[in-house]
Amino acid sequence: MARRGAGFTLLELMVVVAILAVLVAVALPSYRDYQRQAHRTTALAALGRCAQGLERFHVERLTYQDADLAQLCASQSPSQGEVRYRLVLSDAGATGYTLTANPVGAQAGDGALRLLASGVRYWDQDGDGIFEDHEVASQF
């Protein structure tokens, strides 16, 4: 019996669908990790901009006390669009401060970022809310 027309059998189509499903299953987690890392890098840059604003404030007033983060820089990262991190200023005193970027939304499981006035950076990699010595990072 001769075969009519050109086309694909159901089995061939199922094999193609199965191959595509495997490719998506492998690629999607890598892509999501890449997105998380990109948002983390954006938040780190936002912390740096806030630190610059705090340093300008310190030059003018010789203290970090009474600094208002909302007037110095954006209080979220990214500054427009879907919020991934909320920026918080704490422990602002005469000689130092602590800037923290708390993850929210889709970024919530990523762990907070912290920048001290001394330039020391932390990433709470295990997400336990405690910034430990082994979480000090030169790169996030």
pLDDT of residue 132: 76
pLDDT of residue 136: 73
Q: Which two tokens stand for residue 136?
A: 């000090």
Q: In the chain, where are the structural domains located? A: 10-135
The tens digit of pLDDT for each residue in 41-50 reads 999 999 999 9
pLDDT of residue 88: 94
Please give the backbone phi and psi of residue 126, each rounded to the nearest 5 degrees, phi first: -85, -5
> What band does 52 get if pLDDT is binned at 50, 70 and 90?
very high
Mean pLDDT of all residues in 80-90? 91
Cα 21 vs. chain centroid, distance in angstroms?
28
Higher model confidence: residue 96 or residue 6? 96
Pair 74, 83: CB distance under 8 Å:
no
What is the value of pTM for the model shown? 0.76
Mean pLDDT of all residues in 60-85? 90
pLDDT of residue 30: 86
Q: Using alpha carbons, select from 133, 65, 72 the residue that is nearest to residue 93.
A: 65
Residues belonging to the chain: 140
Residue 78 to residue 40: CA distance in whole angstroms: 10
